[in-house]
Every structure is written in structure tokens, then in C-alpha cells.
Amino acid sequence: MDHGAAPAQPDTCAIEASDIRFSWPNSAFSMTVSEFRVQRGEKLLLLGESGGGKSTLLSLICGVVSPDQGSIRVAGQELTNLSTFRRDRLRANKIGVIFQMFNLLPYASAVENILVPLCFSPERRTRCTTPRDEALELAAALGLPRNLVTDEPASNLSAGQQQRVAVARAMIGRPEIIVADEPTSALDKKSQAEFIDLLFDQVAQAGSTLIMVSHDERLADRFDRTVQLSDLVVTSGVAVA
């Protein structure tokens, strides 16, 4: 396994983290990451079980939490220098997030869910001249029936359909980085393969960087690189998530 130390110039990195130390407030859990780099356009698989600091690492990359020490650069920006507001704005502009399940706002339709990130990202909004049409195109490309996307509340969609809507939402406005947290674990075998195909198509079309967390080693050969979470992250104490 490569230890996430691919030699590269800083500006060719989508994500570059070094010497990170982080602990949750009021918790014994702490973790360190000595070196973590993801190239622009790279498809990276992070292999690991829950509890290995996975969620914390993703939170750090997304700028939801800030490390106690160390440096994280996302899309060329040093997160640790940014205010909370700027970190939120950077996440909105640069990162599309796909969760394991329950990705969608249940009361809004799929197309409205797809449009939510534009609400927080001026940068991605400018890339969409006709947001609604682009959202519908994405949904169509992901094989979602149109009436299902526009007329039904998201809660009426099946798990597989919801995950595909989540992909469309992550991809709208073509962010540079897609972070997917075990997106296939709630799907059956057949849907899993289909989902990965669709996700890769979209990521390739947008030229985005993909970081996917999974515990399924069989997916490894589809990615450019695979990193074991346990090699990357050193934890102590009890994980919160």
C-alpha cells in the first residue's frame, strides 16, 4: 500500500495534509495524520472500518472541524488560516459530499435536493446558467425518471434512487472534490456496481477528484490508489464515530 506520499507539486494536489493532530473537545479520542495527499483528478479509495477516525478525517478535510496543529490544504487553500465562515464557504464551493444513507432532505423533491448546494456556493452557482435544467440533466444521466425527480418528495424514493440523487447533488456546479462516505453500503450487490459506474462516469466528466471511504476491498481495482485508513491515521482513546 502506498502511504499517501506520492511526490507532487503542492498546486497539483487537491488535498494535502501534514502533521495533523486533532482531539474532540470533551472526549478522550485523539488522532494524528503525518502525511496525506490526493492528486487533482485522482480517484482514491480509503479502506477502513468505522471507528478508525474515518469520520473525523472527513470532517477535517471538509473543514467542519479544525486541527489542533498541522496543516490542511484543500484546492490550494490552507484551511487552518481560514475563519469558520470561510471554511464553510470553501466546502460549499469545492467539495461535493455523499453520505452512506439518508442523504436527502425528506420533505423536498429530488430536484430541489440537487439544487441545495448552490444555495451556499456562489462559485458553483455561476457554473450553472440554468440550475434547474442542469439538475434535471444530471438526474437523467443518473437514470432517474423525471417525474420521480420533480414530483415526489425525496422520502418516497428507494435507497438506490436516493443515493443517485445524492451523486447528482454532489456533482451540481462541478466541484473539484467529491467526498463519498461508504455510499454503497446501503445498496444491494447489483445496485452497488451500477452506482459505482454512474459515480465514476460523472466524476470523469467533471474532472473531479474522488475520495471514497469503504470497507469493501473488492472495489480497490477500480480506483487509482487505495489507502488503508489504519496506515494513515493513528488514533488513541475511544472513537466518537
Q: In the complex, which residues of this chain contact another protein (CB under 8 A)?
A: 55, 58-59, 62, 64-65, 84-85, 88-89, 91-93, 95, 97, 99, 102-108, 112, 115-121, 131, 153, 169, 181, 241
CB of 55 to another protein, least distance (A): 4
Beta-sheet strands, E only, within 69-140: 69-74, 77-78, 95-98
CB of 199 to another protein, least distance (A): 17
C-beta closer to another protein: residue 39 or 57: 57
- Residues 6 or more apart in contact with residue 214 via CB below 8 angstroms: 45, 46, 47, 182, 184, 185
CB of 11 to another protein, least distance (A): 23
C-beta closer to another protein: residue 76 or 153: 153
Give kind and range of the element (H or E) at residue 116: helix 110-120
CB of 1 to another protein, least distance (A): 25
Q: How far apart are CA 58 and CA 19, in angstroms?
A: 16
Contact assessment for residue 15 and residue 240, using Cβ atoms and an 8 Å cutoff: no
C-beta closer to another protein: residue 39 or 142: 142
- Select from 218, 227, 199 the least CA-distant residue to 15: 227
C-beta closer to another protein: residue 84 or 236: 84
List the grid coordinates of 20. Answer: 495533523
| CA Rg value for the chain | 17
CB of 225 to another protein, least distance (A): 24
Four-residue CA torsion sign, 150, 151, 156, 161 = negative
C-beta closer to another protein: residue 39 or 53: 53
C-beta closer to another protein: residue 43 or 91: 91
CB of 240 to another protein, least distance (A): 9
Would you call 7 exposed, middle or buried from its count of C-beta atoms within 10 A (0-12, 13-18, 19+)? exposed
CA dihedral in degrees (118, 122, 127, 128; nearest 10)? 40
List the grid coordinates of 198. Answer: 454512474
C-beta closer to another protein: residue 9 or 26: 26
CB of 115 to another protein, least distance (A): 4
